[in-house]
Structure 1
């Protein structure tokens, strides 16, 4: 039934144009473009993707680097639009796809919590009421008034995850950002994601770690060169991928 579906992708294709022309700067590039001298090569980052995810399901997305995993997540989050096909979403999405996305490096952690919270649709009062919880989870009590341009990638990941998951989203989309955190923080993030899953959140999780996918996800999809190679139960798909 349609009210059980969280994400439905029908024959979706994502196309990029790669310029084959060489230019020695933006001025020369624009001149060639205006003269119609630029040549482009079509690149299909995803081809004819079909995927249906029900509410409350947990899905791992696996594949080698450059296979199209992050492109798939960006398609689901609405960052990219399909060249062909359709993507339909039922529910609010919280996503962590790129480190520092939605952060202003010149602002402090305190200021970025309010900024990023607004981007995610949180009310200012909600952020104020949960501010201490966010900082505590991110383990940044000593750095809350430090510009995040001075943060490590791990600190950025902790802050982004803490903000995105302070409220229980209907759909949570996580890219490989947790790989930069230390073991204890990864375990804390996994515990929070399991708590959300038990509360009905739908999870999409990209990871190169088979153990993390198996620990968090019941299902998996293997993306290879923009195509779905396998889809089904997580253990079965990982076995195929490993082979």
Structure 2
């Protein structure tokens, strides 16, 4: 692959247009790390998650992963419209790497969390979009992972379900050894992560402790944010 144009677009020897989505990334995460990915759309965040998940093999360099990796990048992937909710628990569970025994053990807990009741015995095609998302979220977050990869999985369902979802995600984070999260919410990254990676056009802009990186990113995104100074009575 060669790079001959601005903005990471080039042509290979066959004239095929190639976009270098990640370039020169050197990163190591260990147990206890919670990494937040920040940057504009197109910065390479989702591509990085897919490389870590094994969906995209790297075209250069190497990647070494030790532990069970579970990607929650498309929480509805593998669900079947003609199958019932309970059958989809099994289908999606198997896709996420759960064993038959794990699925049997967790089915009732998943069913209770969805709040769908008798609808779980009906085909998925009869569900509203909100019901589908609730079922998909409940299944996906029941999995146990050493390395958890998340891409904008918050904001599902109504307000009451979102509160349940946030608590469930927090429990999922605690069970995982390593979490890598891409989300357009500085508040969530500050709350969840201890490290942050700022990506820009496929390259590392900054990497380090979360407050330092998120703070720098916010200052660049909002350069005209009001600044104030407070003085107390003892200042002279």
TM-score range, shorter chain: 0.7 to 0.9
Question: Secondary structure at the residue paired with 1:111?
Answer: helix
Quote the residue 1:91 is aligned against: 67
Indicate whether 1:103 and 2:79 are aligned. yes
- What is the number of residues matched between the two proteins? 211
Residue among 112, 129, 138 paired with 2:114: 138
Q: Distance in 1 between matches of 2:75 and 2:143?
A: 20
Quote the residue 1:127 is aligned against: 103
Runs of 4+ in 1 over 6 A off after TM superposition: 16-19
Residue among 23, 36, 50 paired with 1:47: 23
Indicate whether 1:212 and 2:188 are aligned. yes
Give the TM-score, by structure 2 length.
Answer: 0.79
User: Does 68-77 or 182-191 show the bigger shift?
Assistant: 182-191
- Does the aligned pair in 2 maintain the 1:108–1:146 contact within 8 Å? yes
Quote the residue 2:229 is aligned against: none
Q: Call closer, same or farther: CA 1:121–1:220 in 2, change over 3 Å.
A: same
1:133 CA drift (Å): 0.6
Residue among 71, 81, 92 paired with 1:116: 92
Q: Distance in 2 between matches of 1:205 and 1:88?
A: 19
- Does the aligned pair in 2 maintain the 1:96–1:160 contact within 8 Å? no
Say which one has the larger Rg: 2
User: Could you list the runs of 5+ residues in structure 2 that have no partner in the other structure?
Assistant: 1-7, 220-236
Greater strand proportion: 1
Q: Call closer, same or farther: CA 1:215–1:41 in 2, change over 3 Å.
A: same
User: Could you list the runs of 5+ residues in structure 1 that have no partner in the other structure?
Assistant: 1-15, 20-35
